[in-house]
């Protein structure tokens, strides 16, 4: 589904919402710079929410989307080619695929703070192909959400190709998850177990490359490393020979969770491959990202938890600035983000800037109005 930024569409069919001139889009009026739409409307929203008794997520979305012009479109040609970015000589800063978290609203936020490339959360390709409901719930984008990589969990080359062809008009490429260590994924034949199936990985890359007509559409893989690094290098070489666009390497093996990242292993992989290599694992500041790139020689840096804690890290901030917190409020409410997701992101962002007692109070809040009240009382700009 394409949404937000005044435009909404679904990959499964037409979708209309709101009202407006059928020829001239009406952009949403923004409040005073630095305070934003949510804060300007907050007193009215609070009264309306309390007066109507409606479920707040539905009502917030109704209020924030009213008056917007929305119509079905096919996403215009992507503005930037990620593969060209990797050959620019500059550090490419990437938001990792994160289940439940790297959705459109969060991607919109990190793009405001110098993130160059974003991934969707991992989507199971088989469900995506077979279910309209899965497509509409798992994939949402808009014209500003670019460049974008859609990550799939897959173990069947044809199903993956079918999924890739569905998202091709709305994204820059797909990524095959070969690194998720969760038990359910491995049991289903997805994720990190694929590093032990190089022929299957090769077949999936080859099938997508041959069936997607757009020659600029990228096909990448994200992996973990083996204890025997020669096996990882062999896997990467086979993928490279098949035409993989780039490879992201999380520098831990399947069993490791919080152990130190093996950046030396990422460096060896980089030295043995010609395609761009992306380093991933335990990077929490822009300075750390620059250091890892220097150590490994990689073409880009992918960050997950570091961005959850500080979405502005790629802009050089060491902790989440207040403006970023309010930017999230504006963006999340504008996109109709469910309360739990909205609240959890704020918990992560405020982890380093709140006291233990403040965390206890804030984390116990159970409604959007309560969160907005708290932020207005304690962190108003």
Query: 177: helix, coil or strand?
Result: strand
Q: How many CA atoms are closer than 13 Å to the CA of 230, on its beta-carbon side? A: 0
Alpha-carbon Rg for the chain, nearest whole angstrom, is 21
Residue labelled with tokens 């034949």: 189
Composition of the chain by helix, strand, coil, percent to 5: 45, 10, 40
Is 75 an active-site residue?
A: no
Residue labelled with tokens 């108003």: 380
Residue 130, both tokens = 């077979």
Residues 334, 64 contacting (CB under 8 angstroms) = yes
Residue labelled with tokens 């409307």: 41
Question: How many CB atoms are closer than 10 A to CB 157?
Answer: 19
Residue 137, both tokens = 């719930």
Comparing CA positions, the residue from 100, 85, 105, 84 lying closest to residue 304 is 100
How far apart, in whole angstroms, are the C-alpha atoms of residue 98 and residue 339? 18
CA distances from 187 to 22, 161, 180 (A): 49, 22, 11
Comparing CA positions, the residue from 341, 370, 333, 367 lying closest to residue 64 is 333
**DSSP label at residue 75:** P
CA distances from 316 to 96, 115, 153, 307 (A): 18, 11, 32, 12
Angle at 101 between CA 212 and CA 329, to 5 degrees: 120
How far apart, in whole angstroms, are the C-alpha atoms of residue 284 and residue 314? 10
> What is the H or E stretch that residue 220 is in?
strand 218-224
Pick the catalytic residue from 180, 193, 236, 324: 180
Residue 53, both tokens = 């008794």
How far apart, in whole angstroms, are the C-alpha atoms of residue 306 and residue 349? 10
Catalytic residues: 180
């Amino acid at each position: 589904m394409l949404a937000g930024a005044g435009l909404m569409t679904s990959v499964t069919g037409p979708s209309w919402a709101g009202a407006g001139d059928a020829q001239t889009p009406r952009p949403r009026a923004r409040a005073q710079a630095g305070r934003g739409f949510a804060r300007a409307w907050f007193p009215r929203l609070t009264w309306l929410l309390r007066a109507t008794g409606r479920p707040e997520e539905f009502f917030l979305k109704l209020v924030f989307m009213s008056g917007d012009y929305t119509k079905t479109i096919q996403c215009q040609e992507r503005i930037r080619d990620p593969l060209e970015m990797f050959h620019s000589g500059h550090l490419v800063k990437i938001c990792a695929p994160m289940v439940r978290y790297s959705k459109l609203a969060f991607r919109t936020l990190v793009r405001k703070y110098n993130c160059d490339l974003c991934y969707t959360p991992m989507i199971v390709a088989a469900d995506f192909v077979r279910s309209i409901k899965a497509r509409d719930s798992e994939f949402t984008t808009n014209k500003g959400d670019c460049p974008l990589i859609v990550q799939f969990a897959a173990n069947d080359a044809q199903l993956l190709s079918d999924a890739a062809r569905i998202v091709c008009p709305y994204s820059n490429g797909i990524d095959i998850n070969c690194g998720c260590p969760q038990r359910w994924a491995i049991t289903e034949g997805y994720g990190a177990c694929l590093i032990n199936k190089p022929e299957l990985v090769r077949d999936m890359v080859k099938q997508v490359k041959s069936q997607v007509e757009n020659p600029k559409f990228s096909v990448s893989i994200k992996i973990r490393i083996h204890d025997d690094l020669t096996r990882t290098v062999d896997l990467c070489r086979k993928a490279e020979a098949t035409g993989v666009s780039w490879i992201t390497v999380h520098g831990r093996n399947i069993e490791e969770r919080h152990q130190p990242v093996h950046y030396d292993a990422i460096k060896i992989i980089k030295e043995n491959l010609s395609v761009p290599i992306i380093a991933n694992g335990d990077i929490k500041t822009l300075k750390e990202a620059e250091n890892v790139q220097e150590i490994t020689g990689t073409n880009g840096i992918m960050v997950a938890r570091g961005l959850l804690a500080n979405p502005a890290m790629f802009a050089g901030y060491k902790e989440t600035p207040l403006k970023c917190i309010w930017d999230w409020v504006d963006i999340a409410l504008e996109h109709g983000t469910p309360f739990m997701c909205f609240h959890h992101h704020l918990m992560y962002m405020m982890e380093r800037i709140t006291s233990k007692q403040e965390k206890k109070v804030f984390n116990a809040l159970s409604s959007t109005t309560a969160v907005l009240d708290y932020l207005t009382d304690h962190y108003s700009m």
